[in-house]
Amino acid sequence: MNLSNIHFHLVDDNDIDTSVNMKLLQLANISSHVSTYSSAVKFLATFQENPSIFTQGPNIVLLDIMMPVMDGFECLAELEKIDPALTHDMHVFMLSSSIDRNNISKAEKFEMVKRVIEKPLDVYALKMALEDIFSD
């Protein structure tokens, strides 16, 4: 499976988590297209200001659940309001420092959420999930 055309968007308020996840993606040779956002607000602003970025191939959003101002679930609710033609190639993986059954249940209610993954990012689990998504 060729992952080189996938665009990754890391949305996390914790600089250390972002750095670790960037390094893990690089070491796993998953993609050279990685953008980072220090908040869900900045991610949504970028999306609204320049939606063409998100129409150039599949997009994987690694979205932290717990963030100040706007958490991951609030971000998802805003993404659902956007024209589906702009988000149809967007697949979200929620990131959490602890796997809480309530968070998993809540995440499963959003169609674009593919999985909840515990931090630090498990690139093997991510690769397996990507194979499930893009195997057809």
DSSP string, 76-103: HHHHHTS-HHHHTTEEEEEEESS--HHH
Residue 114 in 3-state DSSP?
Answer: strand
**pTM exceeds cut of 0.85:** yes
* 110 close to 129: Cβ distance less than 8 angstroms: no
- pLDDT at residue 136 is higher than 70: no
According to the model, what pLDDT value does residue 75 have? Answer: 98
Instruction: Dump pLDDT digits (tens) for 18-69.
Output: 999 999 988 888 877 899 999 999 999 999 999 988 888 899 999 999 999 9
| Mean of all residue pLDDT scores within the chain | 90
Instruction: Dump pLDDT digits (tens) for 70-120.
Output: 999 999 999 999 988 889 889 999 999 887 889 889 998 999 999 999 888
Cα angle: 60, vertex 121, 111; to 5 degrees: 40
According to the model, what pLDDT value does residue 99 have? Answer: 77
Question: Which CATH code is given to the segment(s) 7-134?
Answer: 3.40.50.2300
Q: Which of 102, 113, 122 is nearest to 75 (CA)?
A: 113
- pLDDT at residue 4 is higher than 80: no
* Domain segments of the chain as ranges: 7-134
